[in-house]
Structure 1
Amino acid sequence: MTSSLQPRSAARGGPQKWDSSIPPPLRPLVRAYALGYASVVVPRLFTLVLQQVTTTRKSRGGGPDNGALQPPRESAVVSLQRILRTGLDPQRFPAFCATLVGGSTLLEVGGTHGSSCLLTRLRLHHCGLLLSQCVATFTAAWFSLKLLQSKASQGFTETVSAEKGNDSNITPKTIKYAGRTLDLSLFAFCRALDVVIGELWAQRRTRRVANQQWTRVETDVSRLADPSIFAVSCALIMWSWFYYPSRLPGAYNKWINSAASVDKRLIEALQRCRTKELRYGEETGQAQLLQGMCREYKWPLQWGDPAIAVPFPCEVVHMGCGPSCEYHALSRFCRSFQWSMFTYLPLNLLLVARKPSFRKLKQALLSAARSSAFLGAFITFFYYGVCLARTRIGPHLMGKDAEARNRIDGGLCVGTGCFACGWSILLENPGRRKDMALFVAPRALATLLPRRYPLDKQWRETLVFAASTAVVFTCVLEKPTRIRGVLGNVLNTVLRP
């Protein structure tokens, strides 16, 4: 007779899970480390493969090197070894994941893992069990984040000159800043906030439905909550990208620049409008900036002179697509849709390749097309929002004199585009809206906070992260369905016995 404690897959003669030989109390820790290691190493391996393919193509093409000395490149084997070793660093993300998950499960007093635990068999009071989970997770989260924060980073270290004693000798002094883990802490905070607000709203709905008091307005609030969060978050992100790019991570800035495909001179001109360096109807020495674009696109040079052109024509914003704002918007959508398909389609086809079928292939194509339409509309709404404020609606409401044009180009037109772009989320699959909203919300909050701050204030961030993680992990063990989206599936998989 097969033992009742044997895994079902083994009892049926099927393949056992990869961690079935690991003691149950240690399985969450091992799963967390493996997942963290894969998240660090796999993207870098993929980049390495792409680099090797590009290098091979160039070498086969036999392109001229103009006799220039090329810097020595690291061999593929050395790069592979370095990437694999990076994931083993005890101060990096894999060790953080293992410390967080392992600590929260192993430190838990009377934890739910391990059937031989005395306190589990005694079935302690429910509130006491929840408290033990919170305390264990809070402690593990605190020390795991400290582990990440202990790693030195050049971006958060600054060397300044300081006078020594009464002498005039200047000695270098190294100052360390906090903020390296800010994005992770804000991610945990947003997830905890989503759990708390979601649970309160669910309880309210249950009561009002039972009393037949649930209204259409409340239904609409539930349906539009995630799109609204996404739209507001994107507005903050795009505003920062346009006027305060240092508030965004470098990789995020680079991706937005690639998707937006905009001439830097146009951005700089609108930035100068906001700082009032460029003012319409006045000679402020700013004509040279946009006149460079006029020469390149073969426009009249006076279009780039703010003292003459009040304002510069919207055709400058269109960057060669002609004077029609609507045609420019359509052109932007087509180009952005094509650019997005090159990103989404291979990813969707890669998922289908595991178990190919015509139905899954059709779903992959539709999913890629829908996501591409969303991103194409996002870019289109931003640009057309700028045109609405500059040409179609703004002048009729604000006026057409130089002062009104200064206000429109000084922030109103960009703000309109920022407000409009995020509502493209309504084109995306409803099931993905919550993940996308909770993905951009922490990045939006980060734009309101300094990327670096004094080290003596770091305990505040650590406290927020530990408390937020305790809320999320306790909810996973108590009410798994409350953690929405992909994160809920991941945590349920990692934390199960």
Structure 2
Amino acid sequence: MARLTAPQSRPLPTLRAYEASIPPSLRPLIRAYLFGYASSTVPRILTLFLAHLSRRRKNIDVLPEDCFVPSLARILKGALEWQRFPTFCCALVGGSTFIEARDPHRPSILKITLRRLITRVLGDVSGRGHLRLTKWLSTFIAAWFSLQLLQSKEQDAYIDRIPSDDDEGVTTETVRFAGRTMDLTLFALTRAVDVIVGELWSQRKRKRIAERKWTKIEISISGLTDSAIFASSCALIMWSWIYMPSRLPRAYNKWITAAAQVDQRLLVALRRCRYGEIKYGLETGQAPLLQSMCKDYNWPLDYGDPVKSVPFPCEVVHMGTGPNCEYHALSRWVRSFRWAFLTYLPINLALTLRKPSRKAFLRALMSSLRSSSFLGSFIALYYYGICLARSRLGPMVLGTSTPACQRIDSGLCVASGCSLCGWSILLENASRRKDIALFVTPRALATLFPRRYSWDLQWRETLVFAASTAVVFTCVAEKPERVRGVLGKVLARTLIA
């Protein structure tokens, strides 16, 4: 009698099986589009989800169109527009990889054209040189047109409507500005410089080691470069946060303000000292600003009067923790550590759910503790640097005269805090330092440029982006380990067919 067996279920196809069914030339395009779509929607969905939970907890009513489901639909649908980031990623990666012939005996027409162009301009080039230049040129062309795709989308923040007179009466003239893609361009430029400088330094290191001339100073430079870049970048960012907040992206500015937990009246007072509206020893009508803080914190009103208090007591900067600067710095560290730990721990624990284990849990806990210590030290050093200039070292070096106090509170105290805070990065492990440094550097560079500029000059930004992206993509094709951090892994995974 035949033995009956239960029919076996077929295993579900894996992601690699789906990918294997896609033609090799199309795989980078699809990966790039999916990556761009996920990076565009996931952060916004998480923000929407947290805002929805907050409204539910506080019983806040919202309009029907602002409810969770309609808002989620707008996010998912908006990312599908052809002038958005997913299409940009697809065009960039597709343009740089699609022209590469998968069959060496049947090169594409565009690849043949590029080879002829290289030969005509540069003469005879080796085969490897041809491959590099072809990759660079193809990526340059793709980057140029893909960035223009993003730049073509109009945004109200980059459009001014100015009334003008003509024969028909008063009309409105539309003036368009560029700068919408500046952050993306500076990100590409930072990565390209990192690739070039890293390769030159690596060649120097190999040569010096072979000659047995590699010194301890050069070893220190290799170990401290990422930390120094982070510290310098943070100095620019924190300076801009105090004196030029419009130079920072709105969300980034909001996050720094939330982490700093500072009274806005104190920020306004520092800006007015910087730009000469508050002058010690002179009546300029600015006393009510800090005197309102004095009322809230139960201080004498004279603390907030620049005529009677030269300078303002450091207790004003401490915002209720007492007159001792060291105790204020310690309290800042504790509060910031707690705030950061409650933010980092849930995220790190969620990442362990993929492969839960006791070791993974301990690793998530230690990572949260280290990152929270780093952020707590960052904020504590920033505030203590201000106190050092105002109450500890500044009076010893510059004196206690009215002009000296004015000079300290007009920028030296903030510069002191800015120069110290970034060195807290030394608490992070070396692998994290490079990722964090490369994350903040483009934002620091953005503070040196206007957020908007003339539309006629947009070609300069496009040229920088295209050349920088071509450098990075060519390096990924030739030496992927040279593109450091998470980006190098993502690009290597995306660009490989």
Q: TM-score, normalised by structure 1?
A: 0.91
Task: Give distance in 2, aligned partners of 1:354 and 1:227.
Answer: 31
Tell me the residue number matched to 2:471. 471
Tell me the residue number matched to 2:92. 100
Q: CA deviation at 1:71?
A: 4.3
Aligned positions of 1:191-206 closer than 5 A: 191-206=191-206
Tell me the residue number matched to 1:355. 355
In the alignment, structure 1 residue 129 sits paired with structure 2 residue 121? no
Give deviations 1:383-423, integer Å, cap 9, x for gaps. Answer: 00000000010000011010000000000000000111111
After superposition, the Cα gap between the structure-2 partners of 1:42 and 1:421, relative to the gap in structure 1 and judged at 3 Å, is same
Tell me the residue number matched to 2:75. 83
Give the SS at the match of 1:451.
Answer: coil
In the alignment, structure 1 residue 30 sits paired with structure 2 residue 30? yes
Aligned positions of 1:290-301 closer than 5 A: 290-301=290-301
Task: Give distance in 1, aligned partners of 2:461 and 2:333.
Answer: 40
Task: Give distance in 2, aligned partners of 1:232 and 1:330.
Answer: 24
Q: CA deviation at 1:48?
A: 2.9
Task: Give distance in 1, aligned partners of 2:64 and 2:31.
Answer: 38
Q: CA deviation at 1:78?
A: 2.2
Give the SS at the match of 1:159.
Answer: strand
Q: CA deviation at 1:21?
A: 1.0
Q: Is the 8 A contact 2:32 2:494 kept in 1?
A: yes
Match of 1:118 among 106, 118, 138: 106
Match for 2:69: what amino acid?
Answer: V
Match of 1:143 among 133, 142, 145: 145
Tell me the residue number matched to 2:375. 375
CA RMSD, 1 decimal: 1.9
Task: Give distance in 1, aligned partners of 2:250 and 2:455.
Answer: 22
Give the SS at the match of 1:79.
Answer: helix
Q: Is the 8 A contact 2:297 2:320 kept in 1?
A: yes
Give deviations 1:134-163, integer Å, cap 9, x for gaps. Answer: 111001000100000000001100011222
Tell me the residue number matched to 1:156. 158
Task: Give distance in 1, aligned partners of 2:309 and 2:16.
Answer: 73
Task: Give distance in 1, aligned partners of 2:342 and 2:140.
Answer: 42
Give the SS at the match of 1:16.
Answer: helix
Give the SS at the match of 2:16.
Answer: coil
Structure 2 stretches lacking a partner, 5+ long: 1-12, 116-125
In the alignment, structure 1 residue 252 sits paired with structure 2 residue 252? yes
Tell me the residue number matched to 1:261. 261
Match for 2:328: what amino acid?
Answer: H
Q: TM-score, normalised by structure 2?
A: 0.91
Q: CA deviation at 1:279?
A: 1.0
Task: Give distance in 2, aligned partners of 1:449 and 1:198.
Answer: 25
Tell me the residue number matched to 2:422. 422
Task: Give distance in 2, aligned partners of 1:117 and 1:496.
Answer: 20
Give deviations 1:345-396, integer Å, cap 9, x for gaps. Answer: 1110011011110011000000011001001111011000000000010000
Give the SS at the match of 2:284.
Answer: coil
Tell me the residue number matched to 1:3. none
After superposition, the Cα gap between the structure-2 partners of 1:100 and 1:15, relative to the gap in structure 1 and judged at 3 Å, is closer
Task: Give distance in 2, aligned partners of 1:71 and 1:478.
Answer: 53
Q: CA deviation at 1:51?
A: 3.4
Tell me the residue number matched to 2:341. 341
Structure 1 stretches lacking a partner, 5+ long: 1-12
Tell me the residue number matched to 2:210. 210
Give deviations 1:150-202, integer Å, cap 9, x for gaps. Answer: 0000110001122225x8x3321110000000000000000000000000010
Tell me the residue number matched to 2:3. none
Tell me the residue number matched to 1:6. none
Tell me the residue number matched to 1:233. 233
Task: Give distance in 1, aligned partners of 2:58 and 2:252.
Answer: 28
Tell me the residue number matched to 2:449. 449
**Number of residue pairs matched by the alignment:** 470
